[in-house]
Chain A
Amino acid sequence: MTDTLRLTVLYFAWLRERAGIAEERVEVPAGVATVAALVTWLAARSPGHASAFADPGVVRCAVNQEFADPGSPLRSGDEVAFFPPVTGG
């Protein structure tokens, strides 16, 4: 048992620009067990992160390359990506 989670966090499009980083590895307290909790934790990391997550309602997420919800659980080793609503095609 470990009391922290090691996560890889990716940012795309304007979230990457605002956060000022494309990818980072973070170690979060075990209490940060959902996507929503991770957003709150990340937003406190820097003014850039705060700006990226200023309106969580427009932020979309994928955990291990699958679309996820704010309530989705996190496990150590997960790859968590944050991005705006998609605009391909």
Chain B
Amino acid sequence: MARILVQTQDFDTGAELARMTAGRRDVGGIGCFVGTVRDTAAGRKIAALNLEHYPAMTERALARIVEAAERRWTLLDCTVIHRVGRLEPGANIVLVLAASAHRQAALEATAFLIDWLKTKAPFWKKEEFLAGGEAWVAARESDEAAAARW
């Protein structure tokens, strides 16, 4: 039963990890990825990222990605939390957790989930530069390649 959330508020990675193992003893490992706001983009200092999404589509798209992971690996639980709105450097953007009986499935599924999320979930980032001005982030071919390797 995956936990999928899109929210403006921060998430507590420790609390999410604890929630995943609460009341169960079959989990052998949890893969964890936390995406955070970097303070530079192509050499320019960032004041903030503004994250926009397509509310009617986002959670469904994330659920599809989780289902794809569940078909490829034997997972006991998954958590995907993605923040939207204005986020300053250092802030959390995204949390991906995948729990399995064994580490390989947990780690691979975590990498798969973040790779697919980056190319198949309707989020868009706009950079707000410290020196003024702003620009939409362009999609990267390396992200497409990372998603395609699965």
Contact = CB atoms under 8 A, between A and B. Distances in A.
Interface size range on B against A: 20 to 34
Interface stretch (A28-36, A43-51, A79-87): A79-87
Contacts of A13: 52, 124, 126, 136
Contacts of A87: 118, 123-125, 136-139
Nearest to B33: A89
Contacts of B126: 13
B139 A12 contact: no
A88 B54 contact: no
Contact of B123 (A10, A62, A89): A89
B72 interface: no
A14 B136 contact: yes
Interface of B: 35, 51-54, 56-57, 60-61, 82, 93-94, 114, 117-126, 136-139, 143
Interface of A: 10, 12-14, 62, 65-67, 79, 81, 83-89
